[in-house]
Chains A and B, each alone.
Chain A
Amino acid sequence: MNMKQLLKILIVFSFLSSNINAQVNRVSASVNITANVEQSIQLITVNAMTFGDIEPGQIEIFVNPVIDVSSGYMIAVGTPEAEFRLDYLNVRNLTNVENEGFLTFQYVLSGNDTEDQASSELIDNDNRTIRFNNEGTFHIWVGGRVNLENATPGSYEGDFTIEIDYI
């Protein structure tokens, strides 16, 4: 065997051995990642609801959130055009801070995507899925009804819980 023959054998052998190592069975997959970023929702109370003076013998107070200026007024701020669900407990107890006793208050809400109370619509169980306007705001007016027939004299206080979540 001369030098040239030997080198040919070595070169061919080297090529074959490296080729075997290159034949590796390999599979792959790719996974996409997605998310939607929404702005956190803020609820700004602009005006609290007031009842004004109660006349002697008056048995009910009703604050109409669509027409009464004594309605509470809140602004919800979030992601423009995003849909959200609004939930609240529409019956709450107002506690007499001086004596025993309480009043049962039934809240009534109306809402509008513009700052116009008169054209706001009542928010009930059927239309609690709402959308922020293109500036990311929604306007809410808070009213309600309370029966005074069995009320004891004194001052009453209570809170109102409203919950807003993106859909």
Chain B
Amino acid sequence: MNKIPQICIACYLLFLSSLVNAQEIDFGTYSSSYSMSVTTIGNTSLDFGMLISGDLSPLEILLTDVEIVTLQITGVRYLDVFVDIVAPDFLIEDAEPGCVTNNCRVGFTLGAAYSNKGTNNTSQAVVFGFTNTASVQFPIKYRGNAPPGPPPTPVYQGYDPSQFNEDAYLYIYGTLAAGTYDSGSYTSSSDIFVTISYD
């Protein structure tokens, strides 16, 4: 008997076994079957308003301020989502788009939080963003200390995803550094970019 095919199969299975994570069932493999959406509620940009040059205090938009940007995430309530946020380090004076000096660029520090208890309520929010690159994983619907729920309902004919959907909320805010700057309008060098995916 030619043993080469058997050896190949054994090697391949050995290779596959090295990729398996013990005791973890990844329902995210099937998450492509489930929809998710993100929409902005209220403010569409993080507008700090007026920053006084030479002021000694940083200009903050706090989690509790009306200037925050709120993103509503609608997805399957018992699935976890990964949220990744990348924010720019500076706002640049519009009149000096190539600015690399501190007289025409203002340092920005991101703040981010989420709420997954079913209501758009910042007092229930969990803060996770302290730097300009932030990541977090959370279930669309808070489940406390309870274990993860059953596997997602399979997609079937007549499947109505809205029956299984819930809203979670993502809050974006931050701080502008105090300093002496040129007068004018300032805009972020790039947008704050938020990516959300199922686990």
Contacts and interface: CB of A to CB of B under 8 A. Distances in A.
Interface of A: 1-3, 6-7, 10, 20-21, 23-40, 79-80, 82, 166
B193 interface: yes
Contacts of A36: 49-51, 184-186
Contacts of B168: none
B29 A20 contact: yes
B198 A80 contact: no
Q: Which 10 A-B pairs have the closest CB atoms?
A: A30-B191, A33-B188, A23-B32, A35-B48, A32-B45, A31-B192, A26-B197, A40-B54, A33-B46, A37-B181
Contact of B193 (A1, A28, A37, A166): A28
A134 B150 CA distance: 68
Interface residues of B, number: 56
A34 B46 contact: yes
B192 A39 contact: no
B59 interface: yes
B182 A37 contact: yes
B53 A28 contact: no
Contacts of A33: 45-48, 87-88, 91, 108, 174, 187-188, 191-192
A21 B29 CA distance: 6
Given A37-B184, A38-B183, A28 B196 contact: yes
10 contacts: A28-B194, A28-B195, A29-B71, A30-B194, A31-B46, A31-B192, A32-B192, A33-B48, A34-B186, A35-B176
